[in-house]
Amino acid sequence: MQIYLPIAEISVNAFLLLGLGGMVGILSGMFGVGGGFLMTPLLFFIGIPPAVAVATEANQIVASSFSGVLAHLRRKTVDLKMGLVLLIGGLIGAGVGIEIFRALREIGQVDLLVKLTYVVFLGIIGSLMFAEGLNALKKSKTRAGKPAPRRGHLWIHGLPFKIKFRTSGLYISAIPPLAIGALVGILAAIMGVGGGFVMVPAMIYILGMPTKVVIGTSLFQIIFVTAFTTLMHATTNYTVDMALAVLLLLGGVVGAQIGTRIGLKMKAESLRLLLATLVLGVCGKLGLELLIEPSELFILGAGGE
Amino acid sequence: MIRILLALFLLASPAHASEHASEKVIAGLSQNRVAITANFDGTGILIFGAVKREAPPPTTEPLDVIIAVSGPERPVVVRKKARVLGIWVNKESRTVSSAPSFYAIASTGPLPKILSKSEDLRYKITIPRMVAEKAAADGLSNIDEFASAVIRIRQHNGLYTEKGGKVNLADQTLFDTQIALPSALVEGDYKARVFLLRDGRVIDDFSKTIAVRKVGLERWIYNLAHERPLIYGLLSLTIAILAGWLASTIFRLLKLS
């Protein structure tokens, strides 16, 4: 069944969009990532104009994250206090990121910046998670059942403005979460994603939060940052396609529910390894695109801006 | 059926053609409005017509017909990638101030054979002429490279098509062709042009506008997005949150039961 998208101005198969939304939704629920880093490139691939893809994807992430966070709220795996601190940083970061984006668009290098940021961040995070996941898996096999020792040596424990985060079982300074939130906000605006794939590892490795709480808290923060981004795109660029968003989120919300359930049944270590593999895969594909000579050297864009 | 109707129409129409033009083209379209609805998946337009004569046809050269349909013209930015420090980046860019979003040509024979260069220059019929002219006006130094990229990419996407031999011509009088409008149609006024040729020269032409418009829900969404962007954005968010909540609730109920 073909459907004509009013803002993107192209006709696409409705079931294809539902399927894409569902697949990415499952990943979103499993890993606590918005799924934007997978969906946005997929949308380019099926011919949606990049500006529309980025803006609409933000809207769709709101839906899948909201659906996912409700499931986590019921299981009390959301650290609301931590989420709020991250969110304050995130909104500041998103504002800064949108300014950077606008400045780079004027010199016509947004594409490159977006791809390079993807490759660098996905590469670093993917490798870190993969190595860590492998180690953890080895340890859990050899010393079955023994919990990993708490890391007490983190440098962030020396900073002022300490806050007690009861759900996470942490007593740390508010500065690192604020900074992480801001960094993720900048990335979210530049890359057109929720930023969960950066936030989740940052929460685990820098803040030292327990993995089960990380996913729900990340989703909680993503909802607000992407809602903010959606509104910015809708009012400045008119590039949010409601029809496209509805189709993607119908698939997405259902997928997120399934994904959350799969995620709860899986071991944290294997979950981490899977996400790392996924991140590295996307990174590799984008990296190759930059390195291999493209078959079409020219690209067309809308003019007259 | 259409041919019979046309023949009747021809017989009935009064002779108002000027004396010096011995052959005139009269044409019609199966539809001069295209409505883009939610399930729009491209459409076909039948363009048909006839040659009107005061005298018997000159027997020297065969008659040819070219039919071209063009979409609204918009500026296009063309960027060329180049390798910088081992990475492929957008380096040079040129703006072609206007290029048709869609262009389809059908003709009775191969274009280079039936259309002379000077006539193409005058009427801007072939695809390269349609784009190159604009590029030249923009003062592009390497017109060929950037303009031909526009043509190549749009041909690849099925937006520019050229089909020789797709116009049926019967008895040097009646002609018709089917032009397919793709699903990725941009809103605007499309122009259908019909050229009558002999010996590579255009002896008469005819043009008509096809209005391509979004209707119904498509229209409503598009207007809301452009006229009330804040409300549109908030509405999109509301839909997203409702859908998220609904899915979560449904799944919980399913699990409890």
Model confidence pLDDT, tens digit, residues A73-98? 888 878 888 888 888 888 888 888 87
**Domain positions in chain A:** 2-144+152-291
Q: Which of A54, A49, A3, A63 is nearest to B218 (CA)?
A: A3
Q: Is B75 in contact with B48 (CB distance < 8 Å)?
A: no
Which of B187, B209, B231 lies at the terminal end of a domain, its last residue?
Answer: B209
Amino acid at B98: S
Q: Is A56 in contact with A245 (CB distance < 8 Å)?
A: yes
CB contact under 8 A, A63 and B79: no
* Half-sphere CA count of B154, side-chain side, radius 13 A: 28
Residue bearing the bigger pLDDT, A230 or A260? A230
Three-class SS of residue A229?
A: helix
Report residue B18's pLDDT band, with 50, 70 and 90 as the boundaries: very low
Q: Is B3 in contact with B49 (CB distance < 8 Å)?
A: no
What gap in Å lies between CA A21 and CA A85, rounded to an integer? 30
Question: Given CB atoms, is B65 within the 8 Å cutoff of chain A?
Answer: no
Looking at residue A148, what is its pLDDT?
Answer: 47
Residues B200 and B225 in one domain: no
Distances (CA, A) of A25 to A17, A255, A285: 12, 4, 21
**Is residue B214 a part of any domain in this protein?**
no
Q: Is A238 in contact with B225 (CB distance < 8 Å)?
A: yes
Three-class SS of residue A134?
A: helix
Residue B257 confidence (pLDDT) above 60: no
Looking at residue A158, what is its pLDDT?
Answer: 62
CATH number at residue B111: 2.60.40.3880
CB contact under 8 A, B184 and A301: no
Residues B79 and B34 in one domain: yes
**Is residue B239 a part of any domain in this protein?**
yes
What gap in Å lies between CA B219 and CA A109, rounded to an integer? 33
Which of B170, B191, B209 lies at the terminal end of a domain, its last residue?
Answer: B209
Across A185-203, average pLDDT: 76
CB contact under 8 A, B221 and A246: no
pTM here is: 0.70
| Chain A residues whose beta carbon lies within 8 Å of the beta carbon of residue B89 | 109, 112
Looking at residue A243, what is its pLDDT?
Answer: 85
CB contact under 8 A, B248 and A257: yes
Distance from CA of A56 to the nearest CA of B (A): 9
How many domains is chain B built from? Answer: 2
Structural domain for B228, as ranges:
219-256
Looking at residue A144, what is its pLDDT?
Answer: 46
According to DSSP, the residues that pair with B77 across neighbouring strands are A301, B95
- Residue B145 region by backbone torsions, left for phi larger than 0, else alpha for psi between -120 and 50, else beta: alpha
Residue of B nearest to A67 (CA): B244
Each residue's pLDDT tens digit, A49-65:
777 887 888 888 888 78
Across A175-196, average pLDDT: 79
**Is residue B193 a part of any domain in this protein?**
yes
Residues B43 and B114 in one domain: yes
Cα A250 from chain centroid (whole Å): 19
Question: Given CB atoms, is B252 within the 8 Å cutoff of chain A?
Answer: yes
Q: Is B176 in contact with B46 (CB distance < 8 Å)?
A: yes
Three-class SS of residue A18?
A: helix
Across B47-73, average pLDDT: 82
Residue B10 confidence (pLDDT) above 70: no
